[in-house]
Amino acid sequence: MPDESPAGNGASAHDTLTSRSPDRDESGWRTPTVPAKSGSREREPAAPPEPPPDCGRCPRLVAFRKRNRECFPDFYNAAVPSFGDPHARLLIVGLAPGLKGANRTGRPFTGDYAGEILYHALIDAGLAQGEYLARADDGLVLHDVMITNAVRCVPPENRPSPAEIARCRPYLRSRIESLPQLRAILALGRIAHDSVVASLGGVRARHPFTHGGAHRFDGLVLIDSYHCSRYNMNTGRLTKSMFAEVLTQAIARARA
């Protein structure tokens, strides 16, 4: 079980503190150390930070991918890889590719409403250079930030099942562990938040999702934001200024 510490060490009322633990999983990629025949202990290999485009771990999502390849042969229709700076201090984690967004273009958040909000906020914050044209080949370059999703394949109706989220978590965990300079994670929405907490060995009940909330882990900070979806923006749950504010907070944590 993960090693957890109580809140403290100067954490704000919004902050909770947890130690990171490398061995935790319910999905099968990395299991706890197992005894080898010789009596020594060997570790199962960890997942790579990026799944293969044709990853077959989630049967329902694979079937959806096949249907989409027939319906939309010009779409990317595969597991969407992370995008950004391999030396990023900030990682932004969304939920999953949108059918006609990232699943169409092959780049996270690219081509749908949420991407308009996110990429323009990154340009305004100085973390993206170039012009965002809602295409993977628009030449946009990210600095000090990487974008990924908790689930890499498009789910029907934007709703991955708990089992699918768990199956994709080893890639998220490996993505986190593969960023050597990482200091902060900005989770967009509750599902991304929960999957990051689990990836870091935290207990969800001790790290409730709250917009603007900060959760301190050993070596990095997780910041929460409402997802910049069309629904959240249209209903006023999230505004552009709220999003800019939480992004500023995450950048400050990443550079602290």
Chain residues binding ligand SF4 by CB under 6 A are 51, 55, 57-58, 61, 79, 151-153, 164, 167-168, 171
Nearer to ligand SF4, 164 or 194 (CB): 164
Q: How far is the CB of 6 from ligand SF4 (least distance, A)?
A: 33
Nearer to ligand SF4, 172 or 223 (CB): 172
Q: How far is the CB of 204 from ligand SF4 (least distance, A)?
A: 20
Nearer to ligand SF4, 64 or 132 (CB): 64
* Sheet strand arrangement including 83-84: 15-18, 214-217, 220-225, 184-188, 90-94, 145-149, 83-84
Q: How far is the CB of 93 from ligand SF4 (least distance, A)?
A: 13
Nearer to ligand SF4, 144 or 164 (CB): 164
Tell the residue number behind the tokens 């570790």, with chain if given.
43
Strands 15-18 and 145-149: unpaired
Q: Which residues contact 56 (CB under 8 A, 6 or more apart)?
A: 62
Nearer to ligand SF4, 116 or 164 (CB): 164
Q: How far is the CB of 27 from ligand SF4 (least distance, A)?
A: 8
Q: How far is the CB of 63 from ligand SF4 (least distance, A)?
A: 11
225-to-190, 214, 242, 247 alpha-carbon distances in Å: 8, 10, 9, 8
Task: Report the amino acid identity of residue 21.
Answer: S
